[in-house]
Amino acid sequence: MAGAALSLMMTGSAWADITIAVAGPMTGQYASFGEQMKAGAEQAVADINAAGGVNGEQLKLEVGDDACDPKQAVAVANQFAGSGVSFVAGHFCSGSSIPASAVYAEEGIIQISPASTNPAFTDDRPGPGVYRVCGRDDQQGAVAGKFLVDNFADKKVAFVHDKTAYGKGLADATMAAYEAAGGKPALYEAYTAGEKDYTALVSKLKNEGIGVLYVGGYHTEAGLMARQMKEQGMDTVLVSGDALVTDEYWAITGDAGQGTLMTFSPDPRKNEIAKPVVDALLAAGKTAEGYALYTYAAIQAWKTAVETAKSTEYDPVVAALNEGTFATVLGELSFDDKGDVTLPGYVFYEWKDGKYDYLVQ
């Protein structure tokens, strides 16, 4: 019996779990993005565990709900620290990722965001273990600003934002690029996220003769604006960023979403290397859209770094992330000295008949 007990203890020790986490808006108005991240994380953990785990150990996934609220994000980060989490794929909203990163840096937890695009997230990172596998708003804004000048020189362009770190940052970066390319904004205003009626704003846009509305914000409010513009008989083109990459946008707009334009990185679902993951997600009735594969890739990069370091300890894993090149569902990627990813930048998409795909010009 003593021999059996010793054998059991040794087996348990050899197969101790490594706890990692995914964090994002699992509830609230942006929960569709939390669903994307959770789906990608669960699939990554299932695939890694089925292939033998990480350094011979199985992964255990914790899910944190920050509801895109900065204070709740900090609470989630502290909860993860208390649970012995060594890595977090998160958060979604920049306004959550930035304050949470301070906790992770202090606690020695690696953070790779699949989705937070505000430049300050990495420009002002509180420690070396903060990364992202998505692009930045200044990159996204540069592409969008030039596009607006090149394609809508004959229309009045308005810029609005929701006052968040993400929304305002994206609108400001896009407007700066628009002005640098010779554009003259007709209007620049803030709106309040979470409201259901944007009639006053839409009426103002109509009175000003706005032909293009650039929205720095999320799909929920942008969808309502698109619908309410259509209800007022406007044919204004709505243009926005990567926070529209959810089918929920069309659920809000219906046909009023037809022709909406948005920037997002090249669609990872079209990568041949991602096909088995996409197929597995769809077969399980889960989403592969938006940031699902970005979350999967964040976990892949961390896994490879841990195997290179032969440890989950902070410093050796940071060194491996800084020095390595990682094969992921997004393609091969590496990180620069700020923690930003070296991947292709942003392209334009168009919403048509309930789906988004590359804009054909």
Which of residues 264, 294, 322 is at a domain's end?
264
Q: What is the token pair recorded at 41?
A: 């994380």
Domain check: are 62 and 91 in the same one? Answer: yes
d(CA 107, CA 102): 9
pLDDT on residue 157? 98
357 within domain boundaries: no
Task: Decide if 361 is inside a domain.
Answer: no
Is residue 279 domain-resident? yes
pLDDT at 3: 43
Whole-number pLDDT of residue 1: 38
Cis check for the bond before 91: say yes or no (omega within 30 of 0): yes
Smallest Cα–Cα separation from 207: which of 240, 232, 231?
Answer: 232
Picking from 264, 292, 325, the residue at the C-terminal end of a domain is 264
Which segments within 144-235 are labelled E, that is strand? 156-161, 187-190, 210-216
Spatial distance between the Cα atoms of 158 and 251, rounded to a whole number of angstroms: 25
Residue 347 domain-assigned (yes or no): no
Q: Torsions phi, psi of 276, nearest 5?
A: -60, -35
Domain count, the chain: 2
Domain of residue 234: give its range.
Answer: 138-264
190 and 101 belong to one structural domain: no
Q: For residue 342, tell me if it sits in a domain.
A: no
Is the same domain home to 130 and 274?
yes
Q: What is the pTM of this model?
A: 0.92
Percentage of the chain modeled with pLDDT above 70? 96
Full DSSP string of 71-91: HHHHHHHHHHHHTT--EEEE-
pLDDT on residue 361: 77
Q: 61 and 99 share a domain?
A: yes
If we measure between CA atoms, which residue out of 313, 342, 310 comes closest to residue 326?
Answer: 342
Type of residue at 121: F
Domain end residue (candidates: 242, 264, 286) = 264
Task: Give the model confidence (pLDDT) of 173-212 as tens digits.
Answer: 999 999 999 999 999 999 999 999 999 999 999 999 999 9
Angle between helix 314-323 and 292-309 (nearest 10): 110
The type of residue at 160 is V
Residue with tokens 């992921």: 328
Cβ burial, residue 23 (10 Å; 0-12/13-18/19+): buried
The confidence score (pLDDT) of residue 345 equals 87
Q: Let me know whether 150 and 127 are in one domain.
A: no
| Type of residue at 287 | T
Q: How far is CA 9 from CA 5, 49, 311, 317, in A?
A: 6, 21, 21, 28
pLDDT the model gives residue 9: 36
Whether residues 274 and 129 share a domain: the answer is yes
> What's the CATH code of the domain at 174?
3.40.50.2300
- Residue 151 contacts residue 178 (beta carbons within 8 Å): no
- Asked if residue 260 is part of any domain, the answer here is yes
Answer whether residue 349 is part of any domain. no
Q: Could you tell me if 125 and 151 lie in one domain?
A: no
The CA-CA-CA angle for residues 310, 316, 319, to 5°, reads 120
Same-domain check for residues 254 and 291: no
Any domain includes 309: yes
For 81-99, what is each residue's pLDDT tens digit?
A: 999 999 999 999 999 999 9
Distances (CA, A) of 240 to 92, 225, 262, 263, 328: 17, 12, 5, 7, 27
- Regions of the chain with pLDDT less than 70: 1-15
The DSSP bridge partners found for residue 189 are: 160
Residues 130 and 11 in one domain: yes
Mean pLDDT of the chain: 95
What are 254-269's pLDDT values in tens digits? 999 999 999 999 999 9
What Å distances lie between residue 283 and 26, 51, 278, 280, 287, CA to CA?
22, 19, 8, 5, 10
In a shared domain, residues 115 and 192: no
Does 235 lie in the same domain as 154? yes
- The answer to whether residues 217 and 104 belong to one domain is no
pLDDT digits (tens, 9 = 90+) for 304-336: 999 999 999 999 999 999 999 999 999 999 999
